């Protein structure tokens, strides 16, 4: 009897283990589908989005499979051949098709359809025209395009530059949804200057 009871326990244990393995396999499959088709993980490179996003931040990106309609204020990742052979850039959408953008390079203010944007997310206002900003303002965003700027206005390659300009929505890879892992700032020797701020994990806006 004891032998039969032990065999029954072993059989039940084996069935339980198989059930867990089965459920785990389904969970892994679902997670793979989610991260392959719905979300992507991207790493911020550079300082153009300071202080909203920092160099080395790991972001959760809503894939362009589901993100089809960029809105003003969204933070997007795009790849344009004219910029570093298609190297992805991360910027904020300032205006969408049909909207008119104007920049006052004296005050640093940005206007969309005549209204001055209240931008509490920027590091600082635009302080100068580098001479590379070849657009004649005001400009109207063409159909199917967006006008983007970095939050670090004086250290950002964005729609102000001729080799980036307006970005075709087809070039958008997705929308930044959340900081999954905050970056850490290192000096040229690789020493940590500013450690990860774990409190920054969460939704981006």
Active site residues: 48, 91
CA–CA–CA angle 48, 50, 53 (5° rounding): 100
Residues in the chain: 205
Secondary structure of residue 80 in the 3-state scheme? coil
Q: Is residue 41 packed enough to be buried (19+ CB in 10 Å), middle (13-18) or exposed (0-12)?
A: exposed
Q: Which among 102, 98, 77 has a CA at the least distance from the CA of 142? A: 98
- Residues with Cβ within 8 Å of 41's Cβ and at least 6 positions away in sequence, in order, are 35, 58, 59, 60, 61, 180
- The contacts found for 114-117 with CB under 8 angstroms, 24 or more apart, are none
Secondary structure of residue 204 in the 3-state scheme? coil
Peptide bond into 187 cis (omega under 30): no
């Amino acid at each position: 009897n004891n032998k039969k009871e032990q065999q029954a326990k072993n059989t039940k244990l084996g069935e339980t283990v198989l059930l867990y393995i089965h459920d785990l396999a389904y969970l892994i499959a679902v997670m793979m589908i989610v991260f392959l088709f719905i979300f992507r993980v991207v790493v911020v490179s550079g300082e153009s989005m300071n202080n909203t996003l920092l160099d080395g931040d790991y972001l959760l990106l809503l894939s362009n499979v589901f993100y089809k309609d960029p809105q003003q204020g969204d933070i997007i990742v795009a790849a344009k051949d004219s910029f570093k052979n298609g190297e992805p850039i991360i910027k904020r959408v300032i205006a969408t098709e049909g909207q008119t953008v104007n920049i006052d390079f004296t005050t640093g203010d940005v206007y969309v359809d005549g209204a001055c944007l209240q931008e509490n997310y920027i590091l600082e206002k635009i302080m100068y025209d580098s001479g590379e900003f070849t657009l004649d303002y005001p400009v109207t965003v063409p159909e199917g395009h967006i006008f983007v700027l970095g939050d670090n206005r004086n250290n950002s390659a964005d729609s102000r530059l001729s080799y980036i300009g307006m970005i075709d929505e087809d070039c958008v890879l997705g929308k930044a949804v959340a900081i999954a892992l905050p970056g850490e700032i290192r000096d040229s020797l690789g020493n940590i200057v500013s450690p990860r701020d774990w409190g920054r994990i969460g939704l981006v806006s």
